[in-house]
């Protein structure tokens, strides 16, 4: 077992940290949050510095990185501005990853070079108002018409849906629950596509929307993977889940780490001033427990990523990682609110922002309960 | 032991009906966004006599019924915490504290005003360590009558922008000086209030209160001139009252978010059945209901002690700890159970989360409550 970071991976981490230090000071993060607008300016800077190449094959102008590189990037960005990790995901995950994993050769040629340059944004439209955890019960319909398809239906909680150029839209094309789903690459400029932004507790600026498809026409070649991708939406999605779980886990780790950067100095200062001395022992121990749990979660996360890159069976490990990282980061945020009290509750505190961001990580990409269902199955339960 | 009187059952029904009628969720969305709720809400509560439940009839109240007042706070907090906080600061800190600790004049005038919903009192300085407590020194020693000049700053004062009066503990300036609790009128010269926006309990604003040589007389001492330098026990009593009211608010919040989530879990269908039917969620609901019931018993116990003129410091600390934990746990569970919908501003569960997150941060914090209980154990 060898999952040490390579020099190139260490360099990527340093480069991402440098970007964060230069481009995302606290005031900038607070401003993005307050504006609740998709951070196009920061996205352009990420593109200019080549970050969108990190997981694209070299043949298409990328750096050829794996899920480990993705995690490093998402972890470091999340330490400063979690929503930027998500919006970058509209390129790295829902663009490049989907296309390189499931796209036809023509689609790879058409999209990957543009994704590397930051010229395109994708979004991933799966969830529906009545199909959340039970994702395969989607009802948005695609019907064949005149050699193409027409899509009708509603999607819910689709991040980047109004900013994106392409919405990877999962539709029902046959009655079979799992073998009747087809993903289409829908041009968001198509007549009948309408994205309605949703106001949320956190991750402000993610452009999360409800999407209405009202007789949206798409061509047969717009099926993800080409015409052979018909009714292949579910297995295509399964190929992406390990990566998505790990990347979301990296976001959680980054958030937890950043909360510590506020919590630990706070406790240190209080502890030093406490009378009688030692009065903060219990709180110090609580912080120690949290730091230990995050360290353990981080080890599991990169171990699971190593398994993925080695091609080993990884469903159990990635699900464990997603569950553990999301819940641990949430626990860190809640405990920080309790320990820091008013100092964290005030709007001027960054901790409250991370506290509001983190809960969605135990929901999106498969809830903690769904992850436990998956893990239970792998255990034969 | 945990019996609720018929009178208080009627109180619960009355306030529950009132909240349902006067605090529709759509309006609360607007008040939360605006960080302000209409003044008329408090006036209506007072007109119905709810603010008078903590003051005896001889001082202008309707007879002391602390359990009933806790039920009122709980029921309001179940829907809208900021209004519950306005209520408790009026009824408990304005009414109960003034009647219990005020001088005869303060009891007759100020407690009576609180009973009418016109004397909003908030503690300023409670969260600070003793080293940071405000100080006072005598004004012109030859001056008549005697004046005291108070200096100090409190960082996170609840309802600072609406309060008529701050309860300020201050030490005499000499080393090891004794504590006096002052009633500092908010409009007195030298008092400055700066808003501190926060993410929860919006409508019951926070403020940083600075006292820069505020000149006060003996009449401004809680309990009158005789209580000068004898404020330590009074302050401990005020802290206990704060814990009791926070406990009632937290209990209400816990029950409010629990009921709200339970309704959703019964309606939301996934995998062909209501999500509340899945064992993993059923058991969470069972646990939450136990947490709430336990916290409710602790709140009732502390309130009963207060009604019986018994010390309730320990009981209030225990109730505050357990109700605060229940509120935060129920809110976070609710958020998870609501899934993506819980994360949207359209649903109230996110508001419960933002409000609950500050309960640990309330002036009478969790750590101090633990500390108090441990000290009573001789540790």
Q: Using a CB-CB distance cutoff of 8 angstroms, which residues of chain A are in contact with residue B271?
A: 133-134, 137
The verdict on a CB contact (< 8 Å) between A275 and B270 is no
Nearest CA-CA distance, residue B207 and chain A, Å: 11
Whether A345 contacts chain B with CB within 8 A: yes
Whether B156 contacts chain A with CB within 8 A: yes
Whether B206 contacts chain A with CB within 8 A: yes
* Better-scored residue on pLDDT, A14 or A341: A14
Measured CA to CA, the distance from residue B221 to residue B178 in angstroms comes to 13
Nearest CA-CA distance, residue B279 and chain A, Å: 11
ipTM above threshold 0.90:
yes
Of B131, B275, B360, the CB nearest to A338: B360
Neighbours of B119 (CB within 10 A): 22
Using H for helix, E for strand and C for coil, what is the string for B37-82?
CCHHHHHHHHHCCHHHHHCCHHHCCCCCCHHHHHHHHHHHHHHCHH
Nearest CA-CA distance, residue A17 and chain B, Å: 29
A·B CB contacts under 8 A: 112
Of A157, A279, A340, the CB nearest to B340: A157
Q: So which residues of A are the catalytic ones?
A: 244
Q: Which residue of B has its CA nearest to A129?
A: B341
Q: Using a CB-CB distance cutoff of 8 angstroms, which residues of chain A are in contact with residue B355?
A: none
A277 pLDDT band, cuts 50/70/90, is confident
- Angle subtended at Cα B82 by Cα B77 and Cα B86, rounded to the nearest 5 degrees: 100
Residue A305: partners with Cβ closer than 8 Å, 6 or more residues away: A3, A66, A67, A68, A71, A246
Q: Using a CB-CB distance cutoff of 8 angstroms, which residues of chain B are in contact with residue A201?
A: 343-345, 350, 353-354
Q: Which residues of chain B have pLDDT under 70?
A: 1-2, 126-132, 140-144, 360-364
Nearest CA-CA distance, residue B273 and chain A, Å: 11
The verdict on a CB contact (< 8 Å) between B340 and A132 is yes
Q: Averaged over A147-152, what is the pLDDT? A: 96
Q: What is the pTM of this model?
A: 0.94
| pLDDT tens digits, A287-321 | 999 999 999 999 999 999 999 999 999 999 999 99
| pLDDT tens digits, A69-102 | 999 999 999 999 999 999 999 999 999 999 999 9
Of A157, A345, A359, the CB nearest to B199: A345
The verdict on a CB contact (< 8 Å) between A342 and B127 is yes
Measured CA to CA, the distance from residue A340 to residue B368 in angstroms comes to 13
Ranges of H-type helices in chain B: 6-22, 25-34, 39-47, 66-79, 81-88, 97-101, 104-106, 112-115, 232-267, 279-307, 313-338, 349-357, 366-376
The verdict on a CB contact (< 8 Å) between B280 and A132 is no
Whether A201 contacts chain B with CB within 8 A: yes
Nearest CA-CA distance, residue B378 and chain A, Å: 15
Choosing among A276, A342, A369, which should be mutated to test the B contact, i.e. which has the most B CBs within 10 A?
Answer: A342
- The owner of tokens 């406990």 is B247
Which of these, A270, A271, A285, A283, lies nearest to B366 by C-alpha position? Answer: A283
Of A157, A283, A345, the CB nearest to B361: A345
Q: Averaged over A349-365, what is the pLDDT? A: 95
Q: Which residue of A has its CA nearest to B284?
A: A369
pLDDT for res A2: 65
Of B281, B339, B350, the CB nearest to A132: B339
Pairing of β B191-196 and β B179-185: unpaired
pLDDT for res B254: 98
Q: Using a CB-CB distance cutoff of 8 angstroms, which residues of chain A are in contact with residue B369?
A: none
pLDDT for res B130: 47
Tokens of B153: 């700053």
* Better-scored residue on pLDDT, A124 or A275: A124
Q: Averaged over A187-213, what is the pLDDT? A: 97
Contact B93, B33 (CB under 8 A): no
Nearest CA-CA distance, residue A134 and chain B, Å: 6
Q: What is the DSSP letter of B197?
A: -
Of B270, B336, B371, the CB nearest to A362: B336
Q: Using a CB-CB distance cutoff of 8 angstroms, which residues of chain A are in contact with residue B344?
A: 198-201
Q: Which residue of B has its CA nearest to A338?
A: B360
- Angle subtended at Cα B118 by Cα B114 and Cα B121, rounded to the nearest 5 degrees: 60
Q: What is the DSSP letter of B311?
A: -
The verdict on a CB contact (< 8 Å) between B328 and A338 is yes
The verdict on a CB contact (< 8 Å) between B340 and A344 is no
Tokens of A150: 């027409």
Measured CA to CA, the distance from residue A304 to residue A71 in angstroms comes to 11
| pLDDT tens digits, B128-139 | 444 567 888 877
Cα distances from A27 to residues A83, A281, B374, in angstroms, run 15, 33, 42
Using H for helix, E for strand and C for coil, what is the string for chain A?
CCCCCCHHHHHHHHHHHHHHHHHCCHHHHHHHHHHCCCCHHHHHHHHHCCHHHCCCCHHHCCCCCCHHHHHHHHHHHHCCCHHHHHHHHHHHHHHHHHHHHHCCHHHHHHHHHHHHCCCCCEEEECCECCECCCHHHCCCEEEEECCEEEEEEEEEEEECCCCCCEEEEEEECCCCCCCCEEEEEEECCCCCEEEEECCECCCCCCCEEEEEEEEEEEEHHHECCCHHHCCCHHHHHHHHHHHHHHHHHHHHHHHHHHHHHHHHHHHHHHHHHCCCCCCCHHHHHHHHHHHHHHHHHHHHHHHHHHHHHCCCCCHHHHHHHHHHHHHHHHHHHHHHHHHHCHHHHECCCHHHHHHHHHHHHHCCCCCHHHHHHHHHHHCCC
Choosing among A345, A367, A370, which should be mutated to test the B contact, i.e. which has the most B CBs within 10 A?
Answer: A345
Contact B171, B183 (CB under 8 A): no
Nearest CA-CA distance, residue A198 and chain B, Å: 7
Contact A235, A170 (CB under 8 A): no
Of A275, A363, A372, the CB nearest to B340: A363
Q: Is the pLDDT reported for residue A360 higher than 80? A: yes
Ordered DSSP codes for B146-184: -EEEEEEEEEEEETTTT-SEEEEEEEESSTTPPEEEEEE
pLDDT for res A82: 97
pLDDT for res B131: 52
Whether A367 contacts chain B with CB within 8 A: yes
């Amino acid at each position: 077992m060898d999952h040490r970071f390579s020099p190139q991976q260490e360099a990527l981490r340093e480069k991402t940290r440098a970007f964060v230090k230069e481009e995302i000071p606290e005031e900038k993060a607070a401003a993005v949050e307050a504006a609740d607008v998709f951070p196009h300016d920061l996205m352009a800077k990420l593109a200019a510095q080549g970050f969108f190449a990190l997981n694209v094959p070299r043949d298409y102008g990328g750096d050829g990185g794996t899920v480990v590189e993705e995690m490093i990037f998402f972890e470091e960005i999340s330490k400063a501005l979690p929503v930027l990790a998500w919006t970058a995901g509209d390129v790295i995950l829902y663009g490049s990853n989907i296309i390189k994993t499931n796209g036809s050769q023509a689609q790879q040629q058409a999209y990957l070079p543009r994704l590397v340059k930051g010229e395109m944004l994708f979004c991933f439209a799966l969830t529906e108002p009545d199909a959340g955890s039970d994702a395969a019960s989607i009802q948005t319909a695609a019907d064949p018409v005149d050699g193409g398809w027409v899509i009708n239906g509603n999607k819910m909680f689709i991040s980047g849906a109004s900013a994106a150029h392409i919405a990877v839209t999962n539709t029902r094309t046959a009655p079979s629950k799992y073998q009747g789903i087809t993903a289409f690459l829908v041009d968001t400029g198509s007549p009948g596509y309408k994205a309605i932004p949703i106001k949320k507790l956190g991750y402000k600026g993610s452009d999360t929307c409800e999407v209405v498809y009202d007789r949206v026409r798409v061509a047969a070649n717009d099926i993800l993977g080409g015409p052979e991708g018909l009714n292949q939406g579910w297995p295509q999605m399964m190929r992406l889940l390990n990566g998505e779980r790990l990347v979301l886990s990296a976001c959680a780790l980054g958030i937890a780490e950043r909360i510590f950067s506020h919590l630990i100095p706070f406790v240190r200062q209080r502890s030093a001033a406490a009378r009688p001395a030692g009065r903060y022992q219990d709180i110090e121990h609580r912080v120690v427990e949290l730091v230990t749990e995050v360290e353990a979660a981080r080890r599991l996360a990169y171990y699971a990523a190593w398994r993925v890159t080695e091609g080993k069976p990884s469903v159990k490990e990635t699900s464990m990682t997603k569950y553990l990282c999301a819940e641990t980061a949430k626990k860190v945020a809640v405990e920080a609110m309790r320990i820091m009290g008013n100092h964290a509750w005030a709007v001027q505190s960054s901790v409250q922002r991370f506290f509001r961001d983190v809960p969605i990580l135990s929901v999106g990409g498969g809830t903690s309960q769904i992850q436990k269902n998956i893990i239970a199955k792998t255990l034969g339960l | 032991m945990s019996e609720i009187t018929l009178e208080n059952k009627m109180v619960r029904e009355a306030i529950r009906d009132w909240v349902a009628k006067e605090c529709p969720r759509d309006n609360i969305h607007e008040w939360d966004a605006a960080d302000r709720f209409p003044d008329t809400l408090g006036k209506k509560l007072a007109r119905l006599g709810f603010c008078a439940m903590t003051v005896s009839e001889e001082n202008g109240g309707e007879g002391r019924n602390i359990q009933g007042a806790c039920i009122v706070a709980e029921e309001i907090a179940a829907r809208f915490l900021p209004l519950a906080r306005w209520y408790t600061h009026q009824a408990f800190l304005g009414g109960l504290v003034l009647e219990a600790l005020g001088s005869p004049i303060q009891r007759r005038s100020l407690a009576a005003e609180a009973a009418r919903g016109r004397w909003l009192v908030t503690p300023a300085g409670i969260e600070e360590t003793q080293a940071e407590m405000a100080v006072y020194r005598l004004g012109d020693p030859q001056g008549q009558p005697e004046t005291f000049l108070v200096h100090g700053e409190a960082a996170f004062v609840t309802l600072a922008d609406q309060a008529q009066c701050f309860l300020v503990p201050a030490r005499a300036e000499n080393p090891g000086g004794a504590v006096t609790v002052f009633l500092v009128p908010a409009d007195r010269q030298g008092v400055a209030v700066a808003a501190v926006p926060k993410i929860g309990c919006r409508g019951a604003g926070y403020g940083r209160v600075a006292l820069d040589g505020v000149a006060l007389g003996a009449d401004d001492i809680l309990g009158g001139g005789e209580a000068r330098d004898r404020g330590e026990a009074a302050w401990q009593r005020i802290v206990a009252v704060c814990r009791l009211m926070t406990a009632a608010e937290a209990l209400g919040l816990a029950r409010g978010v629990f009921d709200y989530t339970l309704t959703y879990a019964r309606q939301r269908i996934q995998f062909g059945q209501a999500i509340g039917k899945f064992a993993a969620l059923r058991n969470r609901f069972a646990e939450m209901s136990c947490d709430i019931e336990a916290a409710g018993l602790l709140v009732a116990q502390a309130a009963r002690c207060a009604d019986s003129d018994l010390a309730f410091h320990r009981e209030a600390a225990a109730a505050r700890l357990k109700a605060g934990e229940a509120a935060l746990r129920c809110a976070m569970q609710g958020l998870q159970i609501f899934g993506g919908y819980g994360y949207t501003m359209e649903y109230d569960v996110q508001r419960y989360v933002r409000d609950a997150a500050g309960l640990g941060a309330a002036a009478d914090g969790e750590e101090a409550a633990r500390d108090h209980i441990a000290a009573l154990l001789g540790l």
